[in-house]
Amino acid sequence: MVSRIPSLNWLRVFEAAARTQSFARAGAQLNMSAAAVSQQVKALEGHLGAALFERRAHSVVLTETGRAYLPGVQQSLLMLETTTAGLFGAGGEQIVYVRSILLFAQGVLAPALGGFMAAHPGIDLRLSTGNDVADFQGSVADMQIVFGNPALFGGQADDLMGERLYPVAHPDLAAGITRPEDLLRHRLIDVSAHRAGWLRLFEALRLSPAAGQFLFVDNTVMAAALAAEGVGLALARAPASDMLMARHGLVRCLPGVEAPGLERYHLVCEERARLRRPARQFRSWLLDHLGAGPGQAPSRSRK
């Protein structure tokens, strides 16, 4: 088992040597001698227990292991440099890091972020997305927009909104669905990561799911794509999925038939009182945009 790498400089030297294919050129870029570059690369190889370069007369070539290792090293160094410049460089206090559930980012944030950026031109928003709890644990962000129990993510949480479930399909399939029992004649695409799905809807319709044929995927984006190809019926998760369903040309089956979801979206941060100014501004904007801002009744979790 490889332990933590003792020196970050080993990685910088490895990346420069891999990029230039020469210990001498790497040394010139890093203000080191070729011998010092060679020594640090050898130390890294010894630590990893694998050769990263094939040494030739006037150059070095990455081994198969080295080629596999390089992209991760480059990405990590770039992320470190970007984060350092963002937080400690000029204007760093105006950067806000937000991580969001993918469906919320696509369906709620994307249509509205232009307004936020126009109102706050000095804020540099860095938005990343995830799909399940594991994607958010250990994430470095000012705030996270999560779905489900906010206690799993720690910190303090603002309640943002819930969801409504209803069946959608390609128009050709939807045209043949005139009563709830017709749903069971089609493959039912469900999202395994959600507590509420087709079974929740069937409970509301008092239908038995025993005769249903299910296809499970891990996110609503994939469910919508499959439904658009006529593979089966999907569940809209309004309002976050409204734009997604429209883009795929999916239409509602059985107007008026729907069920409330079991989980809600939350904005989570470690401690509101310690949020940097741009993060506070983003939080206020989002709560106002969703009707939970100043002048609205606060949720139980909002302080």
pLDDT tens column, 174-220: 999 999 999 999 999 999 888 899 999 999 999 988 888 999 998 99
Residue at which a domain ends, from 73, 88, 103: 88
Compute the CA torsion angle 257, 263, 267, 272 (nearest 10 deg). 140
The answer to whether residue 296 sits within a structural domain is no
Residue 132 pLDDT greater than 80, yes or no: no
The answer to whether residue 294 sits within a structural domain is no
Mean pLDDT, the chain, whole residue set: 88
Instruction: Specify the pLDDT at position 87.
Output: 63
102 and 182 in a common domain: no
pLDDT tens column, 64-105: 999 999 988 988 887 787 677 666 665 555 788 899 999 999
0.85 exceeded by pTM: no
What length does the chain have?
303
Give which of 57, 147, 138 is closest to 102, Cα–Cα. 147
pLDDT tens column, 260-285: 999 999 999 988 998 888 999 999 99
For residue 123, give Cα distances in angstroms to 99, 119, 141: 16, 9, 15
Instruction: Specify the pLDDT at position 299.
Output: 41
278 and 137 in a common domain: yes
The residue segments making up the domain with residue 194 are 164-260
Q: Higher confidence at residue 131 or residue 279?
A: 279
How many domains, the chain?
3
The answer to whether residue 1 sits within a structural domain is no
Give residue 158's Cα distance to chain centre. Answer: 19
Other C-beta atoms within 10 Å of 238: how many? 18
The answer to whether residue 204 sits within a structural domain is yes
79 and 50 in a common domain: yes
28 and 82 in a common domain: yes
Instruction: Specify the pLDDT at position 85.
Output: 66
The answer to whether residue 193 sits within a structural domain is yes
Average pLDDT in the 242-271 region?
A: 94
149 and 279 in a common domain: yes
174 and 30 in a common domain: no
Residue 300 pLDDT greater than 50, yes or no: no
99 and 84 in a common domain: no
Q: What is 150-211 written as a DSSP string? A: GGGG-SEEEEEE--EEEEEE-HHHHTT--SGGGGGGSEEEEETT-S-SHHHHHHHHT--GGG
